[in-house]
Structure 1
Amino acid sequence: MLKSIEKIKGLGVYQSYSKPAGTQDFGIKNLVYGWNYSGKTTLSRLFAQLETKSANPDLSGCEFTFGTADDSITEKNFSQCNLSVRVFNSDFVRANLHFDGGSFNPILLLGKESEKAQRKIDELSKRIKRSEEVQRNVDGKFEELKTRIAQAKTDTAKFIRQRLKVDPYTATHLAQDVVVVGVLDSQLLAEKGLEDAIELALTPDSRKPSTVEELRAAPLIEDLHKEAVEVLAATPSFSNTIKHLEENPAIERWVQSGLALHTGPGTCEFCGNDLSQDRLEAFRVHFSKDLTDHKERVDGLLARVKAAVYSLSWPKAAELNSQFRESYTVAVEALPAVIDAFNQAIRNLTEEVQRKADDSRKAMAPTPLAAGLEKGIKDAADTVNLVIKQNNELASNFTKVKADASRKARYHYVQQFMNDQAVTGMEQQKTRLANRSDRLKAYAARLRPEIRHLQAQISQAQQGREKINERLASMLGSEAVQIQVVMDAAGQDRFQLIRKTGAVAKNMSDGERTAVAFSYFLTKLQEIKPAEFRETIVYIDDPISSLDANHIFQVTAAIRALFFKQQDKNAPWHTTCKQLFISTHNFEFFNLLREIRPVASNKGARLYLIRRIAENSSTLEDMPASLSRYQSEYHFLFEIIHRFYKAPDKTVHEVLMLLPNAMRRFIELYTYSRLPGPKDSEHVDERAEILFGAERAKRILKIFHYFSHGNTLERLAGNNELIFDLEHAVKDLIDAITATDKPHMDALMAATQA
């Protein structure tokens, strides 16, 4: 239950409203009186937000606080309040009724013969409603997960775009990559592999790597060693040898080399003695052809062994692309050791062949050769060449390899994203929620045909039509516009306004529109079940616009019949709803309503006044005793005028804000009561001239025509110097009535002082 409006800020004429001290809390029935433009409709719109639980754009930026028995309701939490509220105002009329001949939503009331079917419909509707509530909750969770996943995709795509300099690369591109990576084996790279891929992907074309020569390794020792085994083991055959030479190999070699210089007998070039033919022949016999051939073979082997010493040069690591330098350096490290081992074996073999050359008659055997000397060099070179080939392949296909590296790094991060998502389980949760939402939709879809079948058995719209038509006939008579039920293109019941002739009702009068709108609202309230209606707050704003006095009685009777009940004629009135608020500018209607005084414990009827107190400021306060004691607006209007007349300070805003409309309305009522001709045949100016005289009437009315209706406050705020004209106009009016109708003036004075 609403107790009060504690504050309103930034809303129309309620720019800075705070509940006046001492203002009584709301009761069960609350009547609010106020003239046009005082803020009644604005107040009803504030209540309407409690009904819709959604913000009205026209009320955007305002602040408010409703006091309740529990927590306060504010602009921040009103959408969560559990109050049931219904509001009738101009917004309701615009939203629900078409006065251009179009159809509008029907009111569905239950007929007695249809109660069983309706109970079944209600039961099915509750199940559908519950299903839809659960589905909305599920869909909300689904959307939340979807948002979180989308944000994760956006963040990951942003990271990939910035890390790999891939542009554009959005969440959409990531989603496409997820599909591709999803059917591949894991695309995660080792730390080093990822670093290399990123470095290559980011390498500019200006730093494209160059190719380097591969190593050509052809070491030779195994065949030489085999030959050395054979040669060192061989000894030449001799027929006649000179023992001294045989025993002195060095002398033998010296003699053999000098023998070629002495082709015939003669003087020895070394000692000068004669060298006989026999001696020469003995030397030639000693150096046989077999020995010569053997020596040549040994010398030839020695020369080839010496030439087999191996040397190899290779590119510097800096000549290769950076991603291969580390593996290249590791591969090259093996080469010096295997080359040194090979060359040491060559040196050993050289020494052994040399010894054979020095003593060719002696059989020898070379040291056994270590296994894998040639293969060690070849394998090490092949390992180095493998790295060089990779480098050269990169250099030759730089654009493609760079793209592949970028793709590998990208797929690595995509795989990482997929793994992270799998750990959180959000995608699986999203799938489960989507499936559950589909099941709930299907469940509700299965129930709706059954509801339509039951609805076909009854016509709630006809019940609503009859109730509205009863009210319209009561308010407007037998010739009143009526409601008929029509079908729309979808086969659903709709309401349409028609004349008694059956023609679609168009160009309706303001009175007809008011009667239709309020009848529609009252009947629509009967859609609410009694138990729920007892917990509903109803706000009605000016339901008698453009209705004459007779119709005002009918509206009052309709309100009494729906909202107030008596157990018997002597019992007090009780409201059928939780709280009722009615605001009006019509004093006669106000008086009729306040005669109904509901009683419920210590809370009954409350009377309030809305009045403008400044240009952009209205206040809601308890009804002044001076107004609540009058049974006529006429007396209240005179009291306002008389208070100004007697006020020592005519510039007090509390008086000024009420005066222009009060003066104008009073003159209309007074002149009409004195000259009660047809209302439309004479203007208030004409009646005033007859009663007060042309000159005085002009002085009285000129200033109040200027300060009238919605312009009153604005004009007063900008024309303070005209306040003195107001004072003279009021004095002229008091003087005129006193002079021409003193008994009337005396009666007014007596009534206001009672």
Structure 2
Amino acid sequence: MIAKVTKLKNFGIYRAFTWPTESPNFCKFNVIYGWNYSGKTTLSRAFRCLEIGAIHNIEPIDGLEIEFENANADRYNQSSVSKPIVRVFNTDFIRENLKWDLDDRIHPIVLLGEENIELQSRLEMEKSSLVKMEEVLQKRITERELETEQLGSVATSKAKEIARMLRLTTFNRTHLTKIIDQIKPDYRSFLLGEEELSNYHAKATSTEQKKKINFTYPVLLKLKIIHTEVSGILERQCISESKIERLLEDIKLSQWVESGRSLHENKEECEFCGGILPNGFLAKLNSHFSEDYEQLKQALEESRIRISGSTINLISHLPSESDFYKDFQEEYEQCKISLEKAVIEYNSSLNLLLADIERKRNQPFDKLTTCDFTNNQDDIELALGNLQNLVKKNNERTDKFSGEKTEAEKRVIQAYTADFEDKYNYSLRLAKLVADEQAISKFNDVIAAQKIVIKSTEARLSDTVKGAEQINAYLAEYFNKSDIVIEANKKSQFMLMREGLPAKNLSEGEKSAIAFAYFIASLEHNGNKLADTIVYLDDPISSLDANHLFNTYAFIRTHFYKMGENGPDKHKCLCKQLFISTHNFELLNLIKDWFGKMAKNDSSYYTVERGQGNNSKIIKMPNTVLKFKSEYAYLFSIIHSFKDSPSTEFEHLYNLPNIMRRFIETFSAFKFLSTLNIDQHLDKIIKNPIECEQIRKFVHYNSHGLDTTRMIQFPDLAECTSVAKTLLDAIEATDKAHYDALCQSVA
């Protein structure tokens, strides 16, 4: 149990409080009496600090200290690791645990429990967060779907373009993406230049397989050798035993004679003129046209035949341009031009040699030399070789047409695909889509987890609905009727119902009862045991709740007290320790009657007073408070005691204006049946108008002012003494018998 409040320093209205040595330690049952604004609620907040482990609802001034002491003299505060289990009912508890909707246009809802309020707030935040997450998820999904659609669209368009350009019937986006996967590590190496791409494209789109070209290569003479041979023949001179000068001089005649010589073999007459041939004429001719001449003639003819047969006729040898594949045709044209030029030069050289041979035939007996001669043997062989190689390539393509077409098609597709990858960053965008899909999947997991959290929170709120039955039982016990009940709605909130309809216009007493019933129900929440709990009840009866005074008292007594058999535990405290603070004198009297039947060490009585300088203190309850059953008699005793012994040290001096006001209100109520305030009948009590106004000003100005100025001002002692005497003298003059009875009560 808590033995005492060792220290309260700069804790709200407690500026420098230490436990008075003359004050008894706390017992099992404790009552603390004090007027409004004396410091009762602040004291309850000190206990609440132990409950929540933090400074609660206090504005620190130059630091803040609280300190309690248990029965073993161990001290602890809100920061202590080990603290007693404390539950405090005060205005802070009501504010934190009940949310009233006072708008009569809608159903009144009250959400009970600080944890429930926190759970409901958390649930709303969790649901709001879920909505935002789902919005973000939907945005991501929409963006990914749009990107997927766009990326798919450009890929499909590119695949169609490739299929159209290469005249393919089965190429689609799936084929394109497979190729992208193959080339993406080094896709730039698959790009082709314009010319190279054009060549591959021509191969890939070719629809005609050419026949093999049967190109017959002409036999070339070795120009150098033939030139040497002809030169040798030209240099030869015929050997003749008898030359006929006339024939040497006239070539045509010589040729005519030579051709006719064979016609006159063994003839005696001339075949031309019919005359007799002279004796020895044929022998003379034969001597002129010697055997060496015949041999030279034969050599010349053989050379002429060989050279004439070696001239090249391109028309009969060259293939047609259309015989070649399209991409070879330009190269063929180049080869053809080079070859034609070389052939012209080649044939020209041969024709020169033929002219030399003809010239030698006409001058067989002369030594001749060849004309100017150009040897283009290398040029024509190179041109023929190039053409031969081109024909070979063309024929090889014919042999490999299907394979080359397929390979060219592959290279073109790879080139187009690489260009597509370069322009659209397809792989990166596709990878981002995959990453986005994974992120969306993870986000879905987060949302699923959030939904589980929401269900868990809803389940926890749903569990709190079960407490409604207990609260309803307490309300029925508190009101001694069941006209107000609590029902749970779908949001795990509690709806107040009165006779089957939503309860509206709740009185302050009804609200207090509901709050108090909830507090009692919550004491054993989450497995907490009442027997281990220190309970502090701060002002369970408000000034507006007098109608429920006895119900409240009975409710407290029933739930925290049990009378047993005779013995040490006859007066059993059902909680570990009970504190009740009140400003209500009637409740105090009921508690005094209750505690008064207990053993002396079972209960303690204290008063909270607010002194000069806003410094409250907790003291042992004065005998005057314990003595009187009537607050009215108690108030008279304070005023009467001050009148007899005026002093600034008087313990109630600070509150004297308020004491007088309350005393006048009570006296006016039973004497004049006053129902308003002291102004209604004050002039009937104090006949002197000046004194009447003095008292009115004193009690109004000094008792109702709670602003900063009023807090730091202290009533003037002379004024207090004068007002006290005037008031009591007026009471005596108005009702002497009543005044004497009051004086007798304080004797």
Question: How does the TM-score come out when normalised to structure 2?
Answer: 0.49
State the structure with more CA Rg: 2
